[in-house]
Structures are given as structure tokens and as C-alpha cells.
A and B are shown apart, each in its own frame.
Chain A
């Protein structure tokens, strides 16, 4: 029962510089007007901003030098993602980072050489995992029929994946499939999909993009399978949880700022409303919870490395996700309420935050999902 004893937390000067510059960049590129101007757009992001991020090297942060990256590790991705969350900057950054991690952790040398340098240069990848609403499921409903023995035609995929992030702009997908009863990961090039394979979702969070992707009829060769699928799938799900937590924590900070700004300017019954303890104290609760979330995400960023995700790192990622998305749910909910009538309107930015909260809680498993797994890790 000493499995919570790891309290490692460090942050290098390099990470600190990255955090500052990412905060500055995201703030410049993604103010409220910029965010709102993209809400109805097809891709959900500004390609010029994405190209600048690529030029800054962010897409290569966690990719080894041999593939053209900067080998700074996921610990340096976390402050970038937190900054993106703070300004609701829409890009395929998280989706692509996760696809890259899947290849790094489970891919063959040929697969890495094909895709990782392309990712550094701005190619977009996305994980296609979800079979239904349940992140606790095995994620292998896409069936794989192995025809290689009979006809050379390879492995035929049949089935759909739900809520595939940034699917319409993805250059490739890493799909979890049912390979002889077990989950495996396969790379599918976007060009292999049928014309109507991608059907975009209407999401509660209008800053995000996701789609149902039908992989039926796609045939992949055996060398499209990741040789170490099982480990990669496990790791990517945890890293996905952490990056979602980091992004959500940035958004919680923005939500808190939004609340504080209203509480220090809005006058009702002759007083600034922030002087009422019924508003002041829950706002302090949001701060305290955000502080917890931030401590937990940077702890996870500290203990995670390029090797298979350790038990300590798994605990850290799950705790970070459980804390961060519950914090944002609370902060977003209170942000709407505390803005009164304004909060009920589409013009109020609280709308953006509460919608993001619903999205974030369901990415890579909600709080209860992670606590269920934590109970096994910590109590048995």
C-alpha cells in the first residue's frame, strides 16, 4: 500500500522556457475572437497557426533526433498542451502526438521511418480507438480478416470507430482492431478510406473536431500492423489521458480567470459580486482544485519517460485525468452560474469552457473509469 509514495516533481529550465513561449504564442494566436471565428469552420483550426507551430518545432518535441525531432520527451509536451488548453487553441496537436507515441512505442523501424519525420514536418495522425461509448471496453470491434494465406490481398478490415479526433484532416490513422481475438494496432493511410468513410460528428465542444470513421473494406498489408501493439495501446491510452488532463488544466486556469474578472467588475445590490462569500468561496475551491490538477499533471510529466509506462506513471496519469477533468467540470459549471443571465448566452465565454469540460471528461476515460483502475493499483 505504499504505491502512492512516488512524489517526484521536477521542471527543467528548458521546460520552463517552453511553457512561457507556448503561453505567449497561444495567447497571441487564440484570443476569444479567434476561437469564436473557428467554431463553425470545417477543420476547427487555422492552418497558418498550425504551420507556425510546426515551424517552431512543437511537432517534434517528443520525437527522437534520428527522426528529425528534438528528443525533449513528453514532459516537454505537457506544458505546450496546457498552454493550448488555456487559450482553447484548436489544432490536431494532441491527436498527432498520440499517433506518434503509438508508433514510437509499438511500431516497426520501417513504420517509424515512414511517419515520424513526416509528423515533425506537419503530417497529421490520429488514433481510432473507440468502439462505443465505453472507454473501459477492449476497443477491438473492427474485425480483421486475414486473407494473406489465400490471396496476397492482405488483411481486410470491417467496422467503424467513433469520435476519431481530427479525422477529416488526418493523413493516417492508427486503428485498434480485433486480430485473432486480441486488440492490435494497424496503420491506415487516409487515402485507403472510401469516399464516404468519414462522417463528422456535431460535438458539444465546438472547438474540437471528431468523426465516425468506417474502415470497412480497407485492406492493409501485414506490415501495417504494429509489432508491439499491446504495449503501445496501453501506453497511448494513458498518455492520452494525461494530455487531455493537461489541456483541461489549462482550460481550468482560463475559466478561473474568466470568473475572477467578472467577480471583480460586476456590481449587484451595490457591491462587487466577488465580495459575496457564496461566490468567493467556491471560486477559491476552483483555485485549490486547479492547483491539485496542475501538481498531478506535472508529477505525471516527471515520471513518464520513453520506456513502457511504469506502474507509478500509470497511477500518475490516471490521477491527473481524474482530478483535472473533474476540476474543469466544476469550474465550467460555476463559471456559467456566476455570470448570471450573461452566463446563459452564447456570447459569454463560459459557454466555451463548460462545453470543453464535457468533451475533456470523456476523452480517454472519465474520472470514474480511472478511479476504478486506480483502486486495483492502489488497494489490492
Chain B
């Protein structure tokens, strides 16, 4: 997390070399000049909010423009649409995009998951075929890991992939497929060997074409009333056998490798910001603008105490990442900070965003679409969408079990 204050330089700017300083200024100038006009809808904060064609078209055009300017895929090889430069330049470009709060680069599964995987493990053919389309947003990627009724327990995947000549025949269904209805490719985890002794060994990993007979998608209406995910059904869908990545039975290992890239989705090799972050400053700004009895809400002692509590928590979250690099300060429970990061940050944001609605008074009961909402209903939508982070990728309650059992050594249920 970092401060989103467009008038303040990025905190990392002080470490720039002369060349980097110049580059940073160049990116900032380009972003200011090319920032898209207000599209008339609330900008998506994450790639999980692409629920309509106008939003899709808007984001696709933006990402294409960022890539064309040379600010996306900066550390990817030139021959595949990248710039072949050091990651530092992409980091700087990302920092400026974040600071200036331009729209996200939405093809996140491609940029952050499939792309790095193909770069690391893929054949020359695969690199040639897939990478450029990820960067220029022509080919949207989705992810097919979760299944209905299995939540985040990937070991229980039931979707079948059966070898038949030069094809695999896929049967089953996936859920929470982001942009499933718009995607051209899916990274798909399916079971090739139901008899495998260890259930993880029966899984295989595919780069599956979505425009295939037998694959259908059903948009899911989210808690916000918007769309962004689909349920995806496979009914005797035939995909070419060369879509498999690695060997049969290596699916679990490759999926785990892919999930490792997830953490780097924002700051990784591909670059581009994947979220429009909301930070404490945004909440404080709102409290300063709301009036109660002729005074800014920010002067109310109870409000102040609550805000400071959140700020202490935010600071501790920011420090956790740094402390986890200092082994001497992590001797008690060495995995604690690494395993608790998701739980801590997603729960912090959930409570912080809910608190924003509380501070709004009666206006907190309005919703996106009402002309009197504060910030167009930005906080309302952000709070409800935040549940995707406290539920997806292992619910907070499952996270607490994992930490209790794997960090503290408490017995399983």
C-alpha cells in the first residue's frame, strides 16, 4: 500500500538514478496527457468489476494505449511485444500510474498469471502465440481453478479432461471465472487421472481456448448488483492436446507456481496497476468534507479515535512486509507474517470501507446510481466488493485455521 496523493511524489522517487528521474517525469507527463476522459461510469477498482461491454471496451482501449506508449510489459522480451528493459522501469511506470490514479490495466490473469508462467515454462511457440495478445489486451485471459461446491479447495477439482486422439475432452464446470464471457483463453486446472493415488497427482494444467464448442458461460450477478464473474460449463468440449502445459499430472505444481505470481501481479514483470487502491487518506479526506453541526466530521473526538485506530493498523500492515524480511525479528513464528498477510489486509479493508459508510450518516444508505451519493457510491461498492477478498482465495475463517494450525501448531478440528 502506498499513499495515493497525486500532488505528492511517489515515496520511492528519492531512490531514482538520474536516468530514472527523467523516465519517471516522462511517464507522468504521458499519463497526464493521455488520461482518458470521464467515461460516465464509476471506474472499476479491480479487474473483477468488468461487468459490461462499455467498461470492457474502455479498459481494453486504455491498456492498449499504455502498451503502445511502451509502459506495459517493459521487462518482457522485445520479440514478444515487451521492451526488454529492467524491471525498475516498469516499477517506476507502475508507481506513477498508481499515484496519478489512472485506470487499471485489466487483463490481470494474462499479465500477472498466465504471462509469467508462459515466459518461465512455455515453449517458443507458446510465447509467440500468447504473449503479445496479453499485453495489448487483444486476448483476454481468465482463470479456471475454483469449482462450485469446492470453494478454494483445489485438491477436490472434479472437472475432467480425457485424452482422445489429438484432443482432450473437457467436462465439468468452473465458478468465479473473471471475465469468463469476454475471455479468449483460460488457464484451466482439470483432472486427467481420477485414479491417481494422491488426488493432487491426477491434475493437469491447460491453456484452453474459450471459443470452443461445448464451452458456455453464465454471468453471475454480484452482491453489488453488477457483473464481472461467470460460471463456466464444459460439455464434451474438445481442446487440442497441445494445450496442456507440462506433462499430465503436473497440474497441481504448475497451479501453485501460478499462484505465486499472483502476489507479483501488481509489481511483477508485466506491470500496469491492477487495482485502484483505496487508502486511509481517502477516508480522512471524506471525513474532512462531511459536516456535522457546522463542523467537519474530522473534528469529532469519537471519529478521530476511530480513524487513528485504523491508521495504526494500516501502519502495522505496511511494516509487516519489511519485518518479514528481517529473520531475527521473526524467530517466534517464522511463517506468521507471510501466512497472515491476506487475512490481515483483507479484513482491515473490509472494516475500513464499512466504516466509511457509517461516517456518511444517512447518505450511507444511498447507492450507486443516486445523484446524492458521496463519490458516486464509490465506498458502497468498494465495501461490498471487498467481500470477494475475504471470501475468495480461502475465506478469512479458513485463513485463521491455517494460521492456527500451521503457524501456532494448534490441532485440526
Chain A interface residues (CB < 8 Å from chain B)? 1-2, 4-5, 7, 9-11, 15-16, 19-20, 253, 256, 260, 263-264, 271-272, 274-275, 277, 280-281, 283-284, 287-288, 291-296, 298-299, 319, 322-323, 368, 371-372, 374-375, 378-379
Contact = CB atoms under 8 A, between A and B. Distances in A.
A358 B337 CA distance: 27
A2 B281 contact: yes
B329 A11 contact: yes
B309 A298 contact: no
Interface in B312-349: 312-320, 322-323, 326, 328-329, 332-333, 336-337, 340, 343-344
B281 A1 contact: yes
Contacts of B183: none
A2 B307 CA distance: 14
Contact of B305 (A256, A260, A375): A375
A10 B401 CA distance: 31
Interface of B: 3, 5, 8, 11, 280-281, 284-285, 298, 301, 304-305, 307-309, 311-320, 322-323, 326, 328-329, 332-333, 336-337, 340, 343-344, 397, 400-401, 403-404, 407-413
A125 B87 CA distance: 54
B305 A372 contact: yes
Given A288-B340, A291-B336, A296-B316, A374 B322 contact: no
Closest 4 CB pairs of A and B: A292-B316, A16-B328, A295-B319, A274-B410
Nearest to A368: B305
Contacts of A378: 307-308, 311
A334 to B, nearest CB: 13
A287 B336 CA distance: 8
A263 to B, nearest CB: 6
Given A7-B322, A296-B316, 4 more contacts: A260-B410, A280-B404, A281-B400, A288-B344
Contact of B304 (A295, A298, A379): A379
B315 A7 contact: yes
Given A2-B5, A372-B305, A298 B403 contact: no
**Chain B interface, DSSP helix/strand/loop, else mixed:** helix
B3 A2 contact: yes
B350 to A, nearest CB: 15
A349 to B, nearest CB: 18
Contact of B404 (A4, A284, A295, A322): A284
A8 to B, nearest CB: 8
A280 B319 contact: no
B308 A280 contact: no
B155 to A, nearest CB: 21
17 contacts: A1-B281, A1-B284, A2-B281, A20-B328, A264-B409, A274-B410, A277-B397, A280-B400, A280-B404, A284-B404, A291-B340, A292-B320, A296-B312, A296-B319, A371-B312, A372-B304, A372-B305
**Chain A interface, DSSP helix/strand/loop, else mixed:** helix
Given A15-B328, A284-B408, A277 B413 contact: yes
A375 B312 CA distance: 11
B408 A287 contact: yes
Given A1-B284, A260-B408, A281 B397 contact: yes
B319 A379 contact: no
A379 B300 CA distance: 11
A295 B320 contact: yes
A10 B323 CA distance: 8
A9 B322 CA distance: 7
A300 to B, nearest CB: 10
A283 B309 CA distance: 21
A364 to B, nearest CB: 17
A316 to B, nearest CB: 8
With most chain A CB atoms within 10 A of its CB, the pick from B298, B301, B309, B397 is B309
Nearest to A17: B328
B37 to A, nearest CB: 28
Contacts of B3: 2, 5
Contacts of A291: 316, 320, 323, 336-337, 340
Given A7-B315, A287-B336, A322-B312, A379 B307 contact: yes
Given A9-B319, A287-B340, A375-B308, A292 B313 contact: yes
With most chain B CB atoms within 10 A of its CB, the pick from A253, A280, A319 is A280
